[in-house]
Amino acid sequence: MINTLALRFLTYNYMGFHLNKPFSYLIKYNTLLIFLIMMVVSASISEAFFTATNLSNLIRQVAPVGIISMGMLLVILTGGIDLSVGSVVAMIAVLSALFTQSMPLPLAIAASLACGLLVGSASGYLVSYQKMAPFIATLALMTIVRGFGFIFSKGAPVMVDENASALTDFGSESFLGIPNPAIILFIIFGITSILLKYNVFGRILIAIGSNEEAVRLSGLKVSSYKFAVYVITGGLAAIAGIISTARTSVGSPNLGVGMELDVIATVVIGGTSLAGGKGSAFNTFLGVLIVGMMGNVMNLLDIAAYSQQVIKGLIIIFAVLLQRFQEK
């Protein structure tokens, strides 16, 4: 009796108007709502937030995380996780700087991308064909790849060769007022959106996360699709590493520490279920901007980096709890 009365109260008000539908819209579009609230809060906290210089810096800073987030989205949609992306960024940053010292720039970029794809292939092989838990497999590779970054660099930052000025120019310049790294992010976001909405490959990834056994019984090679998403994520992490080198003109083995947590945070805040089968590129992109705005505003307010980590962690918990509430 009490449950019935409670249900009626939540669904109708005392005049009989239906309240469930507007409430369901708020839950459905909670990521967009959080983004708009963050915009208003950021603008009210700091007058410098909406300046062209700050917005340009913001989108330039979130570009590497945003690029990897599109790959992490695909991995999480299948029910997996990739903890190696931060280490891949560091290793590729070192290798791309080293390669510019001994190769023509196009070949150096191609070799760097190939190394990222190779790491992604290793993760995909362990998870897909050796049936290793994604957390364990990518955690091991996170340590191995970070170690290789220190070995290749001998523990010291590696400077980009002076003849590779085109790379550093790309990292610092803009096109039509949009930073070049942000343009790469927009392109990858567009491709991911099309892949998930209008391509069979994206639909199958969502189906695998929803019911892997049903997809397997339908005759599809689940292992091949899982392998592919880790390769894609490795390639995107390599692109992020190259962009980081282009921005700073140096490849550091210490780069990307904790980046995997920022990437996972953006995907989760974007409403993607860690259990797989639910998520979108648009909401993930909003998650990237939300996390970026949080960091940007906290920097403008001179909040210590350690405090920022606490706030990010609390927001991740809030996002997961919101997902559970939405599912109920």
Q: Considering only 113-117, 174-178, 310-314, which range has the smallest mean pLDDT? A: 310-314
- Residue 292 half-sphere exposure toward CB, CA atoms < 13 A: 25
- Mean pLDDT value of segment 11-36: 59
Which structure tokens are listed for 58?
A: 């913001």
User: Mean pLDDT across the stretch 160-181?
Assistant: 85
Rounded-to-integer distance, Cα 76 and Cα 190, Å: 19
pTM, two decimals, is: 0.87
Q: Grade residue 15 by pLDDT with cuts at 50, 70 and 90.
A: very low
Percent of the residues in the chain that have a pLDDT greater than 70, as a whole number: 90
Q: Which amino acid is at 22?
A: P
pLDDT tens column, 94-138: 999 999 988 899 999 999 999 999 999 999 999 999 999 999 999
Residue 159's Cβ-count burial label (10 Å; 0-12, 13-18, 19+) is middle
Q: Which stretch of 69-78, 199-208, 220-229, 307-316 has the lowest confidence by average pLDDT?
A: 307-316
Q: What is the model's pLDDT at position 119? A: 96
- The CA-CA-CA angle for residues 96, 97, 103, to 5°, reads 75
- Rounded Cα distance, 286 and 298, in Å: 18
Q: Write a three-state SS string for 70-139.
A: HHHHHHHHCCCCCCCHHHHHHHHHHHHHHHHCCCCHHHHHHHHHHHHHHHHHHHHHHHHCCCCCHHHHHH
DSSP state of 255: T
Tell which residue, 71, 90, 91, has the closest CA to residue 81.
Answer: 71
User: For strand 250-251 and strand 158-159, is the pairing parallel, antiparallel, or unpaired?
Assistant: antiparallel
Q: Which residues pair with 18 in a beta bridge?
A: 12
Q: Pick the residue with more confidence: 122 or 311?
A: 122
Residue 66: pLDDT above 50? yes
- Asked if 227 and 102 count as a contact pair (C-beta separation under 8 A), the reply is no
Q: Using an 8 Å Cβ cutoff, are 187 and 40 in contact? A: no
Do residues 259 and 86 touch, judged by C-beta distance below 8 A?
A: yes
State residue 71's pLDDT score: 94
- With bands split at pLDDT 50, 70 and 90, how would you rate the model's confidence at 235? very high
The confidence score (pLDDT) of residue 242 equals 94
pLDDT value of position 3 = 47
Cβ–Cβ under 8 Å, residues 154 and 253? no
Structure tokens at 37: 């609230």
What amino acid occupies position 239?
I
pLDDT at 27: 63
Q: Is the pLDDT of residue 7 over 70?
A: no
DSSP 158: E
Looking at CATH, the fold of the domain delimited by 30-37+48-327 is given as ABC transporter involved in vitamin B12 uptake, BtuC (1.10.3470)
Helix, strand and coil percent figures for the chain, each rounded to 5? 75, 5, 20
Domain boundaries, the chain: 30-37+48-327
Tell me the range of 158-167, 291-300, 306-315 where mean pLDDT is highest: 158-167
Among 31-45, 56-70, 141-155, 192-206, which is the least confidently predicted range?
31-45
